[in-house]
Amino acid sequence: MKRRRTALAALTAVLAAALTALPAQPAGAGESEQVRNGSFDTGTDPWWSTSNVTTALADGRLCADVPGGTAERWDAAVGQNDIALAKGETYRFSFAASGVPGGYAVRALVGLQTAPYDTWFEVSPQPGPDAGTYSYTFTSPVDTAQAQVAFQVGGSAEPWRFCLDDVSLLGGVPPVPYEPDTGPRVRVNQVAYLPAGPKNATLVTDAATRLPWLLRDAAGRTVAHGWTVPRGTDASSGQNVHSIDFGAYRGRGGGFTLVADGETSRPFALGADAYERLRLDALKYYYTQRSGVAIRDDLRPGYGRAAGHLNTPPNQGDANVPCQPGVCDYRLDVTGGWYDAGDHGKYVVNGGITTWELLSTYERETLARTGRAHALRDGTLGLPESGNGVPDILDEARWELEFLLRMQVPDGQPLAGMAHHKVHDEQWTGLPLLPSEDPQKRELHPPTTAATLNLAATAAQAARLYRPYDPAFAARALTAARKAWTAALAHPDVLADPADATGGGAYPDTDVRDEFYWAAAELYLTTGEGRFQTYVLTSPVHTADVFGPLGLDWARTAAAARLDLATVPNRLPGRDQVRRSVVRGADTYLAALRTQPYGMPYAPPDNLYDWGSNHQVLNNAVVLATAYDLTGADRYRDAAVQSMDYVLGRNALNISYVTGYGEVSAHNQHSRWYAHELDPALPGPPAGTLAGGPNSSIQDPYAQSKLTGCVGQFCYIDDIQSWSTNETAINWNAALARLASFVADQA
Ligand code: 9MR
């Protein structure tokens, strides 16, 4: 359904496993060679090369003199076109390569030979002066007669020589089933349990009856023991599992392990320090997502980079952006804001819910009984603005708010007061690509009611939160919010086109009643005005059950309104009902958590995990946390705290989905600039970056080639090419920041 044009199918994860001596063997029965003249016995035809590369035969190989000083890998290449691939067929892609001097990456790929240059398989070996042999298997996601095999060798400062031989793409080979390495069968939160909090684990076992477990401290001493509870087959993973509750143990320290059924878990701590760190790391993530400003390496060592999209070539920039053809005849300065995810797009709907969740993280700290706003004070996030007397989380959120305000249609123009849905590239770009290197034209997409209401809701919320620090900004935000509200009422059903997904995501939403409700609620909470109160009270959304299995995300914003109406001081008639509705919602998440042997408050219908399921888990936990804030009942606090265990390792894949947290954590999230997996010179995602997580629909070809037929939790792979299971995104990290902040407060 979408995008990622040159990206798609690197099998770098199997590089080590699949790297074998290349046998010069003939094709076996049913196997068929797709590459012509791969051994260069008959000259260099039908191989092509880019005009800046000189190729010649040398000792029966093809050697290419690669110029220095090109910018991108694809700026210098050798390849062969018009190769046929059959969808679902497995191919062995192999070649021998050398490089003098060695150390330059060769992007070897199989992909579409014409625009939009889909990539179905890619690897980036770095051959040395002695010829190395490389061999990989992949399954084609398409039927085509227009595939190419290409070796992209550009991007080096210095010239070098690349030689190639025995290139083969053999069809009809047996598929290699993908087996994730899930480590020990005792599944724990690999980071930390709160000493006085719940402590649960899951054991994968064939045993039908209870088994003994032991808790060991760092010195290997047994400090607690007990019995597992058999739970039968877990629907979310298809595994037979037992649960383990070691919550009675109240010790502290690092290096604990849990032992059961002959297996020892990955180590974990009993303590709260990791959550103090995580709440800040999850928020520090936003600075390196900033657009329109250079990222300072002194503030984020290893992440310094030039400003993106400031109209400095090759960027065409965001300072003077036209609309898509026919949409408007003005241009806007829409610099700033955060890049949405691993792409360079900026989307008002997703920026809106993200800003709300960051502002709400802060607002909760100022209001809740266990809140500690001090933990998010000025100076906590290491920002250029640190030291200005404003809590850093507000400085960071303002970076996006200023962008959201710029997306508003100016006075005097058609649809004045509405907000453009999004700004992004005209075409999808490949990976890796620094923001400052993006050469694409940027375009404003049509205003929508949903975007307008996101602006109204977040600008209204900002008006009350920034008032103590910057009354002028608060007033400006409130004026914009009112204007947006009026414009949305006048244009209540201008929807985003679901097909508008070239060069950026569509973020379509067919029902904006929840956005109206949310904007009215935030305007009411900030102004107390009767018209907003009336809108809230008469909205059908006000009395609907808004806490379903997929409760809160960019398209489902009613829960944001309900949580704020329940917690931010106000005089809404019937407010007790509002608070009770939140507690009832929490009860359904609590029930889901109790039925799940992996203990997460998420049980999607038919076990179909949603795109970004990890943040759904976290947002459902936020509702549990809010029920605790409202009632003080421990069961809600414990359930919210326990939800973190799933995200940090107590799951079927035995992986922490947060970079840098846990012994084995996701670290190859899909991103154009945290693209270390593709280019060793680039950093990986910063510590505290949440991966999207299991997604049953596995829309990207890489995940399809590995995970087809996957059950629930297994629909995830930690590879940069898997944009549908493993992207990073601003809205997902916001849910992480909010729950981490709550958990840290419970220490
Ligand atoms: O998070 C979004 C998910 O809910 C949608 O189903 C999906 C397809 O429209 O898009 C996701 O958002 C992506 C956006 O379209 C473009 N930037 C990256 C976002 C995260 O994958």
pLDDT tens per residue across span 702-713: 898 889 899 999
What is residue 11's predicted lDDT score, i.e. its pLDDT? 30
Q: Is the pLDDT of residue 536 over 80?
A: yes
Q: Is the pLDDT of residue 21 over 60?
A: no
Which conformational region is residue 311 in: left (phi greater than 0), alpha (psi within -120 to 50 degrees), or beta?
Answer: left
What is residue 105's predicted lDDT score, i.e. its pLDDT? 86
Instruction: Give the mutation target among 3, 4, 343, 424 for probing the ligand 1 site: most ligand atoms within 8 A of CB.
Output: 343
Which pTM was predicted?
0.88
What is residue 430's predicted lDDT score, i.e. its pLDDT? 87
3-state class (DSSP) for residue 287: helix
End-to-end Cα distance, the chain: 44
What is residue 310's predicted lDDT score, i.e. its pLDDT? 97
What is residue 20's predicted lDDT score, i.e. its pLDDT? 32
Architecture, CATH, for domain 32-171? Sandwich (2.60)
Q: Is the pLDDT of residue 297 over 60?
A: yes
Question: How many whole angstroms from 696 Cα to the centroid of ligand 1?
Answer: 14
Which of 670, 676, 719, 745 is labelled catalytic? 670
The residue ranking higher by pLDDT, 42 or 455, is 455
pLDDT in tens, 498-526: 999 999 999 999 999 999 999 999 999 99
Residue nearest to atom 4 of ligand 1 (CA): 611
pLDDT in tens, 307-366: 999 999 999 999 999 999 999 999 999 999 999 999 999 999 999 999 999 999 999 999
What is residue 739's predicted lDDT score, i.e. its pLDDT? 98
Kindly state if the Cβ of 343 falls inside 6 Å of ligand 1.
Answer: yes
Confidence grade of residue 24 (pLDDT, cut at 50, 70, 90) = very low
What is residue 26's predicted lDDT score, i.e. its pLDDT? 56
Kindly state if the Cβ of 345 falls inside 6 Å of ligand 1.
Answer: yes
Compute the average pLDDT of residues 209-216.
Answer: 98
Compute the average pLDDT of residues 692-696.
Answer: 98
Question: How many whole angstroms from 729 Cα to the centroid of ligand 1?
Answer: 9
What angle, rounded to 10 degrees, do the helices at 513-527 and 558-567 form? Answer: 20
Kindly state if the Cβ of 611 falls inside 6 Å of ligand 1.
Answer: yes
d(CA 624, CA 618): 10
Instruction: Give the mutation target among 611, 619, 722 for probing the ligand 1 site: most ligand atoms within 8 A of CB.
Output: 611
Atom of ligand 1 nearest to the CA of 507: 9
What is residue 174's predicted lDDT score, i.e. its pLDDT? 86
Q: Is the pLDDT of residue 466 over 50?
A: yes
For residue 184, whether the previous peptide bond is cis, meaning omega lies within 30 degrees of 0, is no
Please give the DSSP secondary-structure letter assigned to residue 391: -
- Identify whether the C-beta of residue 120 lies closer than 8 Å to the C-beta of residue 140: yes
Compute the average pLDDT of residues 186-211.
Answer: 98
Kindly state if the Cβ of 425 falls inside 6 Å of ligand 1.
Answer: no
**If we measure between CA atoms, which residue out of 184, 206, 204 comes closest to residue 257?**
184
Q: Report, in this order, helix, strand and coil percent for the chain, each rounded to 5.
A: 30, 20, 50
- Report residue 419 as tokens: 């907000």
What is residue 177's predicted lDDT score, i.e. its pLDDT? 81
Q: Is the pLDDT of residue 700 over 90?
A: no
What is residue 46's predicted lDDT score, i.e. its pLDDT? 96
Averaged pLDDT score across all residues of the chain: 94
718 is catalytic: yes
The C-alpha angle 211, 213, 217, rounded to 5 degrees, equals: 170
343 is catalytic: yes
What is residue 188's predicted lDDT score, i.e. its pLDDT? 99
Q: What percent of the chain has pLDDT over 70?
A: 96
Instruction: Give the mutation target among 507, 615, 699 for probing the ligand 1 site: most ligand atoms within 8 A of CB.
Output: 507
- Identify whether the C-beta of residue 119 lies closer than 8 Å to the C-beta of residue 46: no
Q: How many residues does the chain have?
A: 747
Confidence grade of residue 27 (pLDDT, cut at 50, 70, 90) = low
Kindly state if the Cβ of 690 falls inside 6 Å of ligand 1.
Answer: no
